[in-house]
Amino acid sequence: MNTTFNKSLPIAIGADHAGFEYKEELKKMLAAQGWAIEDKGTYSLDSVDYPDFAHPVAIMVEEGKAAAGILVCGSGNGVCMTANKHAGIRAALCWNEEIVSLSRQHNNANVLCLPARFISLEKAEAMTNVFLSTPFEGGRHERRVEKI
């Protein structure tokens, strides 16, 4: 059971052009908190295809090379759908701290997906902090997560 995320592994982070600016700010915040970061792109505001960045983040988490993943796109849906194609990935599209907390407590989410066009940067930062600090409750939820 994964209770909370361990800083011995990096956070894998990725975004498309719509999430690029939030990704860059989240990287600064995470680095200030002592997290190592593996940036899987994109690296500019130029239009790109979100799967090109969601797959590498999901692969790092799937292979145990990242403690967790964070993905950002315009709606959050594209990166979430892409990440959830990977075995062992439980990507959660979240829009407030309560949903983030429940995704960790009840679903043991290991990739946070953020909708940059629908939340403020401050909200994205707060949600990221909740994601990384909220433990999985286990218990009755463990059985359900195992069925995924």
pLDDT in tens, 2-29: 457 889 999 999 999 999 999 999 999 9
pLDDT digits (tens, 9 = 90+) for 86-144: 999 999 999 999 999 999 999 999 999 999 999 999 999 999 999 999 998 777 788 78
Across residues 22-38, what is the average pLDDT? 97
Choice among 46-50, 61-65, 84-88, 136-140 with the minimum mean pLDDT: 136-140
What are the beta bridge partners of residue 92? 112
What are the beta bridge partners of residue 114? 72
Tell me what percent of the chain is helix, strand and coil, each rounded to the nearest 5: 40, 15, 45
Total tally of structural domains belonging to the chain: 1
Q: In this structure, is residue 100 part of a structural domain? A: yes
Q: In this structure, is residue 79 part of a structural domain? A: yes
Whether the predicted pLDDT of 1 surpasses 50: no
The pTM score is 0.94
Across residues 29-51, what is the average pLDDT? 97
Cβ neighbours, 10 Å, residue 48: 18
The active-site residue, picked from 17, 55, 73, 113, is 73
Across residues 67-89, what is the average pLDDT? 97
Q: In this structure, is residue 43 part of a structural domain? A: yes
How many whole angstroms from its chain centre is CA 133? 13
- Quote the pLDDT of residue 26: 98
Q: In this structure, is residue 6 part of a structural domain? A: no
- Which 3 state secondary structure label does DSSP give 114? strand
Q: In this structure, is residue 2 part of a structural domain? A: no
Across residues 50-68, what is the average pLDDT? 97
Q: In this structure, is residue 1 part of a structural domain? A: no
> Is 73 a known active-site residue?
yes
Residue 101 is encoded by which pair of tokens? 């907390």
- Quote the pLDDT of residue 3: 57
**Domain range for 142:** 11-146
Q: In this structure, is residue 105 part of a structural domain? A: yes
Whether the predicted pLDDT of 145 surpasses 70: yes
Q: What's the CATH code of the domain at 95?
A: 3.40.1400.10
Of 31, 50, 33, 32, which Cα lies nearest the Cα of 41? 50
- Quote the pLDDT of residue 41: 96
How many CA atoms, within 13 angstroms, populate the side-chain half-sphere of residue 106? Answer: 7
- Quote the pLDDT of residue 139: 76
d(CA 77, CA 107): 18
